[in-house]
A = this chain, B = another copy of it.
Amino acid sequence: MEGSEGGSRKQRTLEKLGKLGKGVLQELREGRPPRLKVPSRGTSNIVYDEKHGYYVLGPRYEVRSASSMAQVKKFAQTLCVADFCRELVTKGKFATLREMYYTAEGWEPGPFRDQDESDLLVEDLEAMLGVKREDLALMPEEDGAAVFGDLTVREEGVTINALKAGRGGYTIPPTIDEVKFVKCGAKRVIAIETMGMYHRFVQEEAWKKFEALIVGLKGQAARATRRFLKRAREELGLPVYLFCDGDPFGYHIGMVIISGSAKLAYINHELAVPDAKYIGVTASDIIDYKLPTDKLRELDIARLKQLQKDPRYNTEFWQREIRKMLELGKKAEQQAFAKYGLEYVVREYLPAKLREVEGS
């Protein structure tokens, strides 16, 4: 099995940061005012890539020049951020965006006005270098999902089996790319929107019956979770199935894992899992399983109509399920299967769904 590429990633990041700095020095030595080329992240430069199945950045970029009075401060701050990241990566440390914002109090170009300003520079750097902030040793505030199942990882010199970390599971750390996949006995990944349903799956031993890694997303998936799912797909070769609430927000929690978000177009190639499959709850499930429902609110209807026009939903499956939900005027939660008893979702629903997607 392939391991994590934590070491070579680090090397690659340092090389990219080095190249950035050398470029600036070179221009200075040649007597030219140094410039940085920052890929544009405006909506007009965000393109849906049909072939890959996720949003990417188009070819446009902005120039940030040290010779422009309007740009020189931002130019200098960008280099400070790059230097801060280089130091972190070299030392093997991590900092949050918030910590960087406060650390900047002591930087030469002066503190940032607010954190939005420093966050934007981090995005600039990610887009310029084509690496994730996590590779730059900047970690998201929040931990990722919980994982339960037969996966052994190695993290900070410690070996952990995700069956033996407690019911709460192994927590995907913000630094997931530092984690090495050592061994995996599972054959598929089932990612679940709510922790209530995650605990149901753990309790009913779905991980054993379906040889699955059970991933509890805790709502919209964190970056670390998406990275974990992508690595599970690519490095472990596991198919990824998504089980969310049957409402527009559940649909979209699934879709962001599949196709990434427009906002993160510059880094979707590291996060999106284009062949992950949404197994439910669908509008068809609501009908087929006679699930208890709630009425769609106006917000839900508006959201569904947005999704109808979203290029990521431009497939027969999604168009049908969106239309059906609008016609029904109803939505249903994952936990609605409890109508048939607590075990039903694992004993009846899940096997039927897996037969459907795996065609066996």
Q: Quick one: which of A87-121 are within 8 Å of B by CB?
A: 93-96, 98-103, 105-106, 111
Q: Which residue of B lies closest to A154 (CB)?
A: B166
Which of B170, B203, B338 is in CB contact (< 8 Å) with A102?
B338
Which partner residue on chain B sits nearest A200 by CB separation? B99
Which residues 320-360 in A have Cβ within 8 Å of B in the complex? 333, 335-339, 341-342
Contacts A95-B342, A96-B196, A199-B139: A165 and B160 contacting too (C-beta < 8 A)? Answer: yes
| Contact A341-B166, Cβ < 8 Å, known A94-B203, A199-B96, A199-B174 | no
Segment from A63-71, A140-148, A207-215 that makes contact with B: A140-148
Chain B residue numbers with a CB within 8 Å of A165 are: 160, 165-166, 170-171
Contact of A194 with B339 at beta-carbon distance under 8 Å, contacts A94-B203, A199-B174 already known = no
CA distance A283 to B142 in the complex (A): 26
A277 to chain B, nearest CB (A): 25
Q: Please judge, given known A-B contacts A95-B338, A165-B166, A199-B96, whether A143 and B143 are in contact too, CB under 8 Å.
A: no
A254 within 8 A of B: no
Measured between beta carbons, the chain B residues less than 8 angstroms from A292 are 102, 105, 111
Asked if A242 CB lies within 8 Å of chain B CBs, one says: no
Q: In the complex the two chains form, what is the Cα distance from A164 to B159 in whole Å? A: 7
Q: Which residues of B contact A336 (CB under 8 A)?
A: 102
Contact B342 A99 (CB under 8 A): yes
Given known contacts A99-B342, A146-B171, A174-B199, A160 and B164 CB-to-CB distance under 8 angstroms: yes
User: Are A94 and B139 touching (Cβ within 8 A)?
Assistant: no
How long is the Cα–Cα vector from A306 to B316 in the complex, in angstroms?
Answer: 55
Q: Is A156 an interface residue (CB 8 A)?
A: yes
Whether A36 is near chain B, meaning CB under 8 Å from some CB there, is no
A203 and B164 CA atoms in complex are apart in Å by: 23
When distances are taken between beta carbons in the complex, the residues of chain B under 8 Å from A341 are 103
Within 273-315 of A, Cβ neighbours of B (below 8 Å) are at 292
Residues of A with Cβ closer than 8 Å to B? 93-96, 98-103, 105-106, 111, 139, 141-144, 146, 153, 155-156, 158, 160, 163-175, 179, 194-196, 199-200, 203, 216, 218, 292, 333, 335-339, 341-342
Q: Provide a sorted-by-A list of 15 A–B residue pairs whose CB atoms are within 8 angstroms.
A: A94-B199, A95-B338, A101-B338, A102-B335, A103-B338, A141-B194, A144-B168, A155-B166, A155-B167, A158-B164, A160-B164, A165-B165, A165-B166, A166-B171, A171-B171
Given contacts A141-B194, A156-B166, 14 further A-B contacts (CB under 8 A): A93-B342, A98-B335, A99-B196, A99-B335, A103-B342, A143-B195, A158-B166, A160-B165, A165-B165, A165-B170, A166-B170, A166-B179, A169-B171, A171-B171
